[in-house]
Chain A
Amino acid sequence: MSAGEIVAGVLILLSAFLSMAAGIGIVRFPDVLTRLHAATKPQVLGLAAVLLAIVLRAPTWGVVTTVVLIMTFQLLTQPMTAHMLGRSAYRTDHVRRDLLIEDDLGRDIAAHADD
């Protein structure tokens, strides 16, 4: 049992815990926007932890470059998904308006309604 194994194990456990938290979050939260908030955690931090564990266990340059590519694509594409889903949820009224504290998009739409 070396130090690298211990660190990799802790990173894997972190990723697994984030995945479990996301699953519980999307079952328990009330509407699309709050579920979106729960869902985006394992997609970035969980994957980053597990990729770091892979690099620690197999430290070659090929693995490092592939891991950097994977993380770059994930960081590019997941915000797009979250943005499109959130916007589409707002436009099609899948939002609990009584739970919103601040409604910036609604204010913008109201301000530009007469244009």
Chain B
Amino acid sequence: MTFLQLISIAAGIMFGIGALAAVVRIIRGPSILDRALATDVLLAIAMCGLGAEMAINRHTDTLVILLVLAMFAVVGSISIARFMAKQDAS
């Protein structure tokens, strides 16, 4: 077993724990803001996981997906935050 295979197993376990915790918060979250935040975290972990897979297997096929996610991940959370603010204005 090579060094990078060991790294990928350890990183996979840690990414998995983080993603599971985010899913737990999406399910339990008391407010919709907690759920939006946990969805953001899940997306960030997915981006880090995609990047780690690219670095380990030495290809750049999914780099464009990271670019699109970095550009448009902001839309969901901001619209949720605006909707909440309008709903409870005054």
Contacts and interface: CB of A to CB of B under 8 A. Distances in A.
Contacts of B88: 91-92
Contacts of A22: 18, 22, 41, 44-45
If over half of B's interface residues share one DSSP class (helix, strand or loop), that class is named, otherwise mixed; here it is: helix
B57 to A, nearest CB: 9
Contacts of B36: 85
If over half of A's interface residues share one DSSP class (helix, strand or loop), that class is named, otherwise mixed; here it is: helix
Nearest to B51: A50
A91 B14 CA distance: 35
Give the size category of B's interface with A: 35 or more
Interface residues of A, number: 56
Interface in A78-108: 78, 80-81, 84-85, 87-89, 91-92, 94
B78 A12 contact: no
A13 B7 contact: yes
